[in-house]
Structure 1
Amino acid sequence: MGKLSLKLFNPNSKNETSKQRCLINRLRYASGYTQQDAGFSLLELIVVMVMIGILAAITVPSWFAFVNRQKVNKANDAVLAALQEAQRQAKNKKLSYTVSFQKNTTTQNIEVAVYNTNAGSPTWKPLGADIGVSSNKLLLGANLSGENTVNSTDSTVQYPPSSTPTKITFDYMGALPTLPTPYFGTGTEPPGLKIVVAVPSSANSTLASRVKRCVIVKTLLGSMITAKGSPNCD
């Protein structure tokens, strides 16, 4: 049986090294690669930086708009939850219950309190704190001039509300007490009692932008709906 001869590569062999270099150079030539092609040119770097800047200019405002919408949506959910809690407590305990909203002038947080109307001072807490919502960058608005009363005849939402704190009270049946006319304002479509949360305008931080959400107590029986934007929350 013949012997199998295996020739090992000798790294110290000048002949083998020369052959390898020749092979590598041929491959480089065939692929168009030269030593001068390594790295990036200044022009290429500038083009890449310009493209990154364009993408950032497009995506960053969209991202902030998305974050603002999410924040307002969660804050509005917290407003609805507070109103529903007050109505539920009123029905369960057969007592009058009030939900109040205010903008804390020190912390700038929107605060809420749900309490027995005749039980004394309310306990305030930041709106949406239990679900991780920060409301200190949001505006609080309402169309109320007093407890369960729409302001004037045009029912326009004001920032901050003309009634401080803003109160909505449910009777022992979870309905709204009968109040003098106009109860829900004037016109063919009564506006309801509106609590609004909004992102401030970039031009004026005291004015609401178009990113706004609201909860509307629509009837004397205390039925509620949520809405967004204009004209629903105006």
Structure 2
Amino acid sequence: MLSTQKRPVPASATAGFTLIELVVVVVMLGVLATLAAPAWQTVMNRQRVAVAQRDALAAIREAQANTQRDIRPWQTCFRTNNNRVEVLVHPIAPPNNPLNCPTNNPGWRYLGGETSKDVQILASNTNLPLRNGMPSVRFDFNGRLSAEGAATGTIVGNSERITFAPRGQSGPRRCVILPSILGAARSARDAACNP
């Protein structure tokens, strides 16, 4: 007599996904990635600009602290070199050192580390005195802002600022403002960075 019982199918033969299920999951992931990419880019731009602002503020404060410690002028210079924002904090000792920002000083470093290539100095919102064509902050021997070495007629202590933005894109702006001749630097963002 023949048995009419069905033999159990091993579990390994029925496990897995069908091709249709896999295609649906891949399409859903693609849609989610498309929706999330602009938000992720905005978050990354905000972070990069914030790092540049933080490092610029630290460099300005370093120069002012060194001025007060050494009782001699120091300055902080900013530039864009090979599409990277750089900063230099150095003492001024005329006539040995020029009053301008030196271009060949080995102390130049990337502002914000590796993010320096993704950030730019927003010239339209930057009004620091130019020395050798570079925005700079100079402190005299007692820690006050100084116009020495800047273009003739430059007045300091009137809310000078340097502003950073994502390179080649609109997005968040961050700045460092020196609101008075005493050089008390503070940070601001977006509309507060307008001159």
Structure 2 length-normalised TM: 0.75
Look up the match of 2:188.
227
Look up the match of 1:139.
120
Q: Quick one: which of 51, 57, 70 aligns to 2:47?
A: 70
Look up the match of 1:194.
161
Question: In structure 1, how many angstroms separate the alpha carbons of the residues matched to 2:129 and 2:74?
Answer: 19
The percentage of aligned residue pairs carrying the same residue is 30
Question: In structure 1, how many angstroms separate the alpha carbons of the residues matched to 2:176 and 2:60?
Answer: 9
The structure, 1 or 2, with the larger RCO (C-alpha pairs under 8 Å, 6+ apart) is: 2
- Aligned partner of 1:95: which letter? R
Deviations 1:52-105 (A, max 9, x none): 11111122222222222222111111101110011011111111111111111x
1:78, 1:127 within 8 Å by CA — same for their partners in 2?
A: no
Q: Secondary structure at the match of 2:182?
A: coil
1:86, 1:115 within 8 Å by CA — same for their partners in 2?
A: yes
Q: CA deviation at 1:43?
A: 3.4
Q: Do structure 1's residue 165 and structure 2's residue 153 form an aligned pair? A: no
2:129, 2:154 within 8 Å by CA — same for their partners in 1?
A: no
Aligned length: 176
Question: In structure 2, how many angstroms separate the alpha carbons of the residues matched to 1:125 and 1:134?
Answer: 15
Look up the match of 1:126.
109
Q: Within 5 A, what are the aligned runs for 1:73-92?
A: 73-92=50-69
Q: CA deviation at 1:166?
A: 1.1
Q: Quick one: which of 81, 84, 94 aligns to 1:109?
A: 84
Question: In structure 2, how many angstroms separate the alpha carbons of the residues matched to 1:100 and 1:181?
Answer: 16
Q: Secondary structure at the match of 1:232?
A: helix
Q: CA deviation at 1:233?
A: 1.7
Look up the match of 1:61.
38
Q: Which runs of 5+ in 1 are unaligned?
A: 1-17, 148-162, 185-189, 203-208
- Aligned partner of 2:32: which letter? L
Q: Do structure 1's residue 210 and structure 2's residue 171 form an aligned pair? A: yes
Q: Secondary structure at the match of 1:86?
A: helix
Question: In structure 2, how many angstroms separate the alpha carbons of the residues matched to 1:199 and 1:138?
Answer: 5
2:145, 2:156 within 8 Å by CA — same for their partners in 1?
A: no
Q: CA deviation at 1:225?
A: 0.9
- Aligned partner of 2:162: which letter? I
Asked which structure has the greater CA Rg, the reply is 1
Question: In structure 2, how many angstroms separate the alpha carbons of the residues matched to 1:85 and 1:24?
Answer: 77
Q: Which runs of 5+ in 2 are unaligned?
A: none
Q: Secondary structure at the match of 1:24?
A: coil
- Aligned partner of 1:74: which letter? V
Q: CA deviation at 1:182?
A: 5.9
Question: In structure 2, how many angstroms separate the alpha carbons of the residues matched to 1:166 and 1:221?
Answer: 18
Q: CA deviation at 1:219?
A: 1.0
Look up the match of 1:159.
none
Q: Secondary structure at the match of 1:144?
A: coil
